[in-house]
Structure 1
């Protein structure tokens, strides 16, 4: 029911019609895709969300993006290894 990721175990949902839990790479993709669409199609809202002076969400978004930069290269390499064996 849990999947190992970044040295810990996480509970990831099973979304119909999937038979297994969501892969961490797909979870990251969904989050980053949503943020990219917000930045592209709603630039004023994105600018407000990342402004430290205007919202409490700016620092968590910055931390999320920093974590993505640090974790995704390793996760991508691990996923390639996982599917190639």
Structure 2
């Protein structure tokens, strides 16, 4: 559920505050840009597995452990 909350928050920020979202992703100006990019990159790997788990109703092991 946390992943969906994070993605929802990111999407609301990108939609309703695009200038702040762009500034947050600017690596040269934002201290949080690297963390945001990492979170979005991990999301591309995790969400498909979560969707598959929801459809199959069976746990799916990730191909490699997530490193934070």
How far apart are residue 77 of structure 1 and its match? Answer: 0.3
- Aligned partner of 2:26 in structure 1 is 51
Residues 1-85 of structure 1 mapped to structure 2, 5 A cutoff: 26-82=1-57
Structure 1 portions without partners, runs of 5+:
1-25
Alpha-carbon deviation of 1:78?
1.1
Structure 2 gaps of 5+ residues are 59-68
Rounded to whole Å, the distance in 2 between the matches of 1:43 and 1:74 is 29
Q: How well do the aligned residues superpose, as a CA RMSD in angstroms?
A: 1.3
Instruction: Tell me how far apart the structure 2 counterparts of residues 39 and 78 of structure 1 sit (CA, whole Å).
Output: 28
- Normalised to the residue count of structure 2, the TM-score between the two structures is 0.78
C-alpha displacement of 1:75? 1.3
Relative to total residues, which structure has the larger strand share, 1 or 2?
A: 1
Structure having the larger proportion of residues in helix = 2
**What is the TM-score when the length of structure 1 is the normalising length?**
0.64
The aligned length equals 58
Q: Point out the structure with max Rg over C-alpha.
A: 1
